[in-house]
Structure 1
Amino acid sequence: MASLLNIIATDHNFYTENKDEGLNYTKYLSQKYVKITDTNKNLIWFLQISDIHISIFRDPGRISQFQQFCDNTVKNIKPNIVLATGDLTDAKAKDNLGSSQVKKEWIYYYNIIQESGVTSDTIWLDIRGNHDNFNIKSINAQENYFRNYSVQGKTYPKSYVHILNENGVKVAFLGVDACPDPGIRRPFNFIGILDNQEQQHLQKLKLEAESKADHVVWFGHYPTSCILSLERDSQKLNLRHLISNAKGSQVYVCGHLHSMGGLVPQMYTIQRKGFLELELGDWKDNRMYRLAAIDHGIFSFVDQKHNTWPVVLVTNPKHALYAMPGREPLTLIRYSTHVRILAFSDVNIDTVQISYDKINWSECKLVETALYVCQWEPDLFKNGLHYLYVMATDEIGRKTIVDHPFSLDGSNLQFKVVPRILLMLDAGGVFQTLFGTLLMVNILPLVILRFQKRPPKCRRSIANKILRRIWLLTKIDRVFYPLVLYVLYIPFGPWIVGELIDGYIGVVFAWGIVIRGSYIPEPFTYMYGSVQLMFVHLPLVLVLAYCLEMRLFGQNLRGVKRVLKNLPFIFLLSIQLLLAYFYWLEYGTLAFIFGPLRTWSVFLNILLWYKTLTLPPDYCSIVVSAQIIHAKAIRSSSIGWDVKYQAGNMKTVAHNN
């Protein structure tokens, strides 16, 4: 727990740890921008949209409302840049399990952008996501429609940098493409990978960005927690270190996690090296987009629901939670003369007002385009945390009220724990740890109980009963050894041999994927194996232990009663058959036939269940004899069994056999 808390800690001070570097940089920015006043100089803003998932099979609203976004939202906000951070198309089959590039979806994406004319008013920077890389044998493959139907794909098929020099602000927008090459079909295409060539390319882009811009905005599809860097010359590039070491780096914006299905709507954190990482909720289901600005070197942002107006963003004073000491000139806020607010609507803005107590409101004046300013006295807010309230009203009466915490002495707020875990841990390491833990859980208890001569005891009767059932199961060689050997096979043997990419046979192991002579260390395989261990194998042990008890000590049941007694196994078998069916939909018939992890285990489990229910009398006698030897430990008060009753039933079982 201490290690976990240390990994996700955000209370370290980058400015203190890198005093000379941070002091020199912020001093340079302070001298460049001089003072924050009421002019529109030294201000740029941009939009981000992510996980659009244009689909021809489901939810046509994604397409129609994306067209509204281009036709209406972008043209009313008039950003300098629009970032489209991956998963531009859905690339999923009608059954929602198969995956492949669908040309018609890319044509929709291309036509919407072209017909809206959005690229004539702003710069559109798009980059690939994992869905845009499904079933692509190489970056140059004909099926890689990103090259021909995206805005930047023809010029920049992978990572690239775009320099913006506008209104006195020089910003480098550096896109990180971490899509694996080749790109196999789902689900083994969840983690991004930076190979040696791409790492070298990113190093060059970083140097270019540092030399030409004062600020660097990094963008990509995968969060840094979901990107694996391969070793190069016994070293590997860590994207977080690369971002933090770039002069002027302030933020990394991404998508991919879809706000965990809307459960974590504000997935933000500040990484240990002092830069912000901001995951944006998806367009696919939640229709979210982000408005961000750099005002006199200070970064601000707000996430907004589509067609919710007015949109309000306070750029001065800076939001207390997102302050980055050493990476932005926060001292300028203390000496600023005006509160600065960006406000947009699809109609005219009527009024923008501010208050510090929600009682006395002051009206802001429009400077130019969308910038509203109001004089303030920062000396009144020198100490502690304060709140600025902004109320914007448009001409048709729609109103937006924003609560904006700020501080001038470094007082800050804490990021929530769940977003920090999701963005600051290493997803591959988490998957591998979970997989290893479940391996131990599925092997060690069986082995330990196997060598115990006496049945274990627990205080709780339910746990006691379960443990004694499993203890009995471990004494049956023909069940125990297959259960243990299957679990030992999982981390070493192949799981799938099939057509992972159209026309190419690949092999999936726990530790990675081999296809087309390439090795892809996809860590999501560990999560896939964890599902098998957690929801199939572990319940199987409990079900077989229950079946053994029914065989040894139950009555000779027939008809409906017998079916009811076997309902747990029938339910488990249904789950397993469903998982095997998904296997077939995802990777085809060959993978279904040569699929030890899913398909073969179905037959293994049926065989074990059958062997358990049809144990011959001599096996039953040995187990019951062992039970009678320790009869004192199996009193009816602790387990609910009566030894004489067991022996009587055993005679019945032997007679029937």
Structure 2
Amino acid sequence: MILSKSAIWILCVLLVVSIFMANLLNIIATDHNFYIENENEGINFTKYLGEKYVKITDTTKNLIWFLQISDIHISIFRDPGRISQFQQFCDNTVKTINPAIVLATGDLTDAKAKDNLGSSQVKTEWVYYHNIIKESGVTDATVWLDIRGNHDNFNIRTINAQENYFRNYSVQGQEHAKSYMHIVDQNGIKAAFLGIDACPDPGLRRPFNFIGILDITEQQIIQKLKAEAETKADHIVWFGHYPTSCILPLKDESPWLDLRQLIGSSHGSQVYVCGHLHSMGGLVPKMYTKQKKGYLELELGDWKDNRMYRLGAIDHGQFSFVDQKHNVWPLVLITNPKHATYIMPGREPLHLVPKSTHIRILAFSDVTIKSVEMTFDQISWMKCRLTKAPLYVCNWLPYLFTKGIHHMYVKVTDDLGREANIDHPFTLDGSLMNFEISARILLMLDAGIVFQAIFGTLLLVNVLPLVVLRLQKYPPRYRRRFGRQVLRRIWLLSKIDRIFYPIVLYAVYLPFGPWAIGELIDSHIGAIFAWGILIKGSFLPEPFTYMYGSVQLMFVQIPLIFVLAHCLEHRLFGQNVRGIRRLIKNLPFVFLLSIQLLLAYFFWLEYGTTCFIFGPLRTWSIALSILLWYKTLNLPLEYCRNLIKLNDMPS
């Protein structure tokens, strides 16, 4: 049986899609058995932890807990609740929970102009942040570890610039300008909290400050901090603003640092906590995954709009966590047995759980806890007893739950009658539970490669069909009438040199030529290219430029082809159309031009007049669109006659 051309094309497309999906699923797989690949090292480490912690009982020893807050975005222009409720968090929440550490993982201030597009450091916002922490006295009760986010780095010429207010108004800024480490030796646990500052230097204005960059110096500092943490602590909690998917190591020198590999190379590494992605506007509230090296990566929803914070705990070598909305009480975290999704074989002494004597629950409220109850069947409820706040315990028989996934249900009630009801899956044999696929994609892929792939694909979509159609001698065939008409219009358009070459040459220009030249930082001229940014004699390989260019291709350049094809049809077959009907025929171009003007206006607000004037990507493309539209509507009659003859040719 002879396959048709359409069938062959479909098979080729299916093959490419299948290969792509197979590679994608392999990259984001979380069932990768780190423990088996590193069995000897894993056995030695967990054996060491097992000897250190011995047995999980009802004692409060070998237990610490900490808090994380991220993307606070203190702003003097919008949402005063961010400031007032952040003050409540420091005054009440932190003091109620009494953690060993509070991690503030970046974007401490908003640093955005009143129009929400311009960006620069605002001293008043930093003063608010500083005063709230100082007046609350929170640093007297706990250790506050803050680190910069991309908003805290907007429009900063250098790390030592006067406008880098993090140095003077944060808690850690005076002592630690960038990455640093803090050791906690408390209650029988030695834990290192290692902060990664991946803010680029210099710090551009938004939006070209989305991806974090680790230069060679910072890579070496992080490696030294990690080596020190391994000698001084049993557990390493890594924290930073950017997810690992949004951190790009500079590769000017070899060897360069693979951050995920570095984090995973130490068995003491259990988790990397971060912010930055804001749970994708709430679409991915549980943005958690387990990286290939067997440790957890946990993105925390923002304080800015959602008022989220995180409680994390290390209990007898096991890491547990829960994310909670501000002012929602009681707060409950079950530490033994830990949640089945987040077990880390080879990094935790999981062999202690089947031998443990007690279920362990941390319960907090801003009033007295009235009762803590648990059950396995939602029928026979057992009361848990308080050993020492906040730890509640209950005897159990773990040998009854040795196979598969089981569920424990916990109900906590406080004196105001507020209840927290927890459905807690657990396993004693290492049975796996899956992470959400959207979270795995966002945290396990490389954002820079994704942005490049999107840009490259859209570039091909913009150029390839036009080139292929131009090479065809006869009109393209298609079964459906509408599709056939659209293809014919674009085929005719591809035959017009004065339209075809400007479209193709502009698309070819985008990957190579500058997109804008101007003040990317106050008083510093730079140039934006698809492949990075040149400023102050240095090169920043900021991959977000590809995404910025993709917007231009998706919403301007590709639609422009269809709009011009529509205008061509009007020029060839609609000469008698006048008045309001003529205006309606040109509405698609008016709409497209409006989008271009809006994008150019936004770019002007972001980077100023110089970039606006010398901006081939946003500004000059407007002139190109108007010119091509004018040329299409005013084709010479001879051109029109030839095109009409071509259109009348059989497919």
Q: TM-score category by the smaller chain?
A: over 0.9
- Structure 1 counterpart of 2:485, from 465, 483, 489: 465
- Structure 1 counterpart of 2:235, from 200, 211, 215: 215
1:620-635 alignment runs, 5 A limit: 620-628=640-648, 630=649, 632-633=650-651
Q: 16-25 or 456-465: which moved more? A: 456-465
Distance in 1, Cα, partners of 2:252 & 2:532: 18
Cα deviations by residue, 1:297-323 (Å, 9 ceiling, x for unpaired): 000000000000000000000110000
| Paired residue type of 2:519 | E
Cα deviations by residue, 1:606-655 (Å, 9 ceiling, x for unpaired): 01001100111011112122233x1x33xxxxxxxxxxxxxxxxxxxxxx
- In structure 2, the partner of 1:445 is 465
Distance in 1, Cα, partners of 2:389 & 2:425: 25
SS in structure 2 at match of 1:37:
coil
Distance in 2, Cα, partners of 1:238 & 1:196: 12
- In structure 2, the partner of 1:477 is 497
Cα deviations by residue, 1:215-257 (Å, 9 ceiling, x for unpaired): 0000000000000011153332011000001230000000000
Distance in 2, Cα, partners of 1:462 & 1:25: 66
Distance in 2, Cα, partners of 1:351 & 1:570: 66
- In structure 1, the partner of 2:180 is 160
- Structure 2 counterpart of 1:264, from 264, 277, 284: 284
- In structure 2, the partner of 1:341 is 361
SS in structure 2 at match of 1:38:
coil
- Structure 1 counterpart of 2:441, from 421, 424, 430: 421
Q: 446-455 or 164-173: which moved more? A: 446-455
Cα deviations by residue, 1:560-597 (Å, 9 ceiling, x for unpaired): 11110000000000000000000100000001100000
- Structure 1 counterpart of 2:612, from 552, 573, 592: 592
- Structure 1 counterpart of 2:121, from 87, 92, 101: 101
- In structure 2, the partner of 1:644 is none
Distance in 1, Cα, partners of 2:34 & 2:617: 46
- In structure 1, the partner of 2:34 is 14
- In structure 1, the partner of 2:544 is 524
Distance in 2, Cα, partners of 1:540 & 1:233: 42
SS in structure 1 at match of 2:577:
coil
- Structure 2 counterpart of 1:563, from 583, 591, 615: 583
Distance in 1, Cα, partners of 2:488 & 2:99: 68
- In structure 2, the partner of 1:645 is none
1:166-185 alignment runs, 5 A limit: 166-185=186-205
Q: 172-181 or 455-464: which moved more? A: 455-464
- Structure 2 counterpart of 1:548, from 563, 568, 571: 568
1:187-266 alignment runs, 5 A limit: 187-266=207-286
TM-score norm. by structure 2 comes to 0.96
- In structure 2, the partner of 1:112 is 132
Distance in 1, Cα, partners of 2:551 & 2:64: 47
Distance in 2, Cα, partners of 1:538 & 1:381: 58
| Paired residue type of 1:320 | A
> Residue 536 in 1 paired to residue 556 in 2?
yes
SS in structure 2 at match of 1:598:
coil
The answer on whether the counterparts of 2:91 and 2:136 sit within 8 Å (CA) in structure 1 is: yes
- Structure 2 counterpart of 1:404, from 416, 419, 424: 424
Distance in 2, Cα, partners of 1:234 & 1:147: 31
TM-score norm. by structure 1 comes to 0.96
Cα deviations by residue, 1:9-64 (Å, 9 ceiling, x for unpaired): 01111110100111100000000000000000000000000000000000000000
- In structure 2, the partner of 1:324 is 344
Distance in 1, Cα, partners of 2:37 & 2:630: 64
Q: 93-102 or 5-14: which moved more? A: 5-14
SS in structure 1 at match of 2:116:
coil
1:262-341 alignment runs, 5 A limit: 262-341=282-361
| Paired residue type of 1:132 | D
Number of positions where the alignment pairs a residue of Structure 1 with one of Structure 2: 631
Deviation at 1:288, TM superposition (A): 0.2
SS in structure 2 at match of 1:236:
coil
| Paired residue type of 1:31 | E
1:567-646 alignment runs, 5 A limit: 567-628=587-648, 630=649, 632-633=650-651
- In structure 2, the partner of 1:28 is 48
Deviation at 1:152, TM superposition (A): 0.3
Cα deviations by residue, 1:313-344 (Å, 9 ceiling, x for unpaired): 00000110000000000011010000000000
| Paired residue type of 1:459 | R
- In structure 2, the partner of 1:361 is 381
SS in structure 2 at match of 1:455:
coil
- In structure 2, the partner of 1:639 is none
SS in structure 2 at match of 1:596:
coil
Deviation at 1:90, TM superposition (A): 0.2
Distance in 2, Cα, partners of 1:309 & 1:627: 71
**Inter-CA distance 245–232: structure 2 relative to 1 (3 Å threshold):** farther
SS in structure 2 at match of 1:252:
strand
The answer on whether the counterparts of 2:42 and 2:267 sit within 8 Å (CA) in structure 1 is: no
- The CA RMSD over aligned residues, in Å, is 0.7
Cα deviations by residue, 1:329-387 (Å, 9 ceiling, x for unpaired): 00110100000000000000000001001111110111112000000000111111100
Structure 1's consecutive aligned runs of 4 or more residues displaced over 4 angstroms after TM superposition are: none
**Inter-CA distance 233–589: structure 2 relative to 1 (3 Å threshold):** closer
Distance in 1, Cα, partners of 2:464 & 2:165: 49
SS in structure 1 at match of 2:619:
helix
Q: Which runs of 5+ in 2 are unaligned?
A: 1-20
SS in structure 1 at match of 2:192:
strand
Distance in 2, Cα, partners of 1:259 & 1:163: 29
Distance in 2, Cα, partners of 1:428 & 1:564: 41
SS in structure 1 at match of 2:618:
helix
- In structure 2, the partner of 1:643 is none
Identity of aligned residues (%): 73
The answer on whether the counterparts of 2:513 and 2:529 sit within 8 Å (CA) in structure 1 is: yes
SS in structure 1 at match of 2:460:
helix
- Structure 2 counterpart of 1:73, from 93, 113, 118: 93
The answer on whether the counterparts of 2:488 and 2:647 sit within 8 Å (CA) in structure 1 is: no
